[in-house]
Amino acid sequence: MNRELICSFLNENGIAYKPNENMARYTTFKIGGNADFLVEVNNETELTKIYEFCAENDINLTVLGKGSNVLVSDDGIDGIVVLLSGLDDISVKDNTIICGAGAPLTALCNSAAANSLSGLEFAFGIPGTVGGAVIMNAGAYGGEIKDVISRVRYLDTDGQIKTISKEQMELGYRTSIFKTNGGIILSAEFILSKGCDTDIKAKMADFMSRRKSKQPLEYPSAGSTFKRPTGYFAGALIEENSLKGYSVGGAMVSEKHAGFVINYNNATARDVKNLISHIQNTIKENNGVLLEREVIYLGRN
């Protein structure tokens, strides 16, 4: 990788950046080595320029939201890491909300509630950005992004901005077409229902209360570590195998909710990976069930 070339490009285009930036600051796991370059884009033009530059020069580009569903390698991430925090505009018209991919999901939920729009209550309190929620088809308490999304604008692998409808997104359990097509989500449109703001806020508060009582929010984590296996619950399987509280280095299976691996005591990415592998191997051997990770591994090795 040509560091001088990257610096020249960013400087010439007036794009602010941080070299050798520690990624633990940008993930909810609070784990990870340094990114060669970190950029917080202010607009779609900056993002497009960076994308085209990386494609032309064979430079690795990693796009990150709030880092709420990822584990960054102890060895960091090569190339350029882009944060979409500048793409956070939210506009409301009638029962439609258009939201930038970098906006926190909670901000979108609050905007819906403030405009007496119902349908996003389930998402209140889910960490991460709107873009990340769309990619993963985030869901909780009986609701999913696919229930309310209408269409998405995204940057495709040719550097063109395109629009895709819900029907084309291949939205499924914790997945979408964006997990395979290489597109970078720019904004999303949601169609909601008119409701009573008092009822909407009460429902949001109830869901948040449930999260706090059942999930280990007091520790850094990436949320639910595993996808729900067909016919089972990951947390229940882990608990049945006496793995609640089991630890590897500074990583531990939460004693509050076995479906969460937490950064209990300055865990490394290696600690977390080894613990996840131990859990998967134990459940496979004892129950014949393969637990699929929901957490995404990023970075070197």
Give the integer Cα–Cα distance in Å for 71 and 61: 16
Enter the pTM of the model: 0.94
What is the reported pLDDT for 75? 98
Distinct helix (H) and strand (E) counts, the chain: 7, 18
Contacts for 60-63 with beta carbons within 8 Å, 24 or more apart? 60/1, 62/35, 62/298, 63/184
- Domain with 13 in it: 3-83
In the chain, the number of structural domains is: 3
Same domain for 113 and 178, yes or no, is yes
Q: Are 16 and 248 in contact (CB under 8 A)?
A: no
Helix 197-214 to helix 105-114 angle (10° resolution) is 150
Active site residues: 174, 224, 294
Quick one: CA dihedral 163, 164, 165, 166, positive or negative?
negative
- Phi and psi at residue 12, to the nearest 5°: -65, -30
Residue 264: both structure tokens together: 């209990």
Residue 148: both structure tokens together: 């309310």
Same domain for 98 and 79, yes or no, is no
pLDDT at 54 over 80: yes
Per-chain mean pLDDT for the chain: 96
CA dihedral angle for residue 178, residue 179, residue 181, residue 183, rounded to 10 degrees? 50
The CATH number assigned to the domain holding 150 equals: 3.30.465.10
Examine the fold and report which residue of 158, 186, 214 is the final residue of a domain before the chain moves on: 214
Same domain for 26 and 56, yes or no, is yes
pLDDT at 4 over 80: yes
Confidence category of residue 68, pLDDT binned at 50, 70, 90? very high
Same domain for 270 and 199, yes or no, is no
Same domain for 106 and 171, yes or no, is yes
- Tokens 């969460």 locate to 260
Length of the chain: 301
What is the pLDDT averaged over residues 105-134? 96
pLDDT tens digit string along 270-280? 999 999 999 99
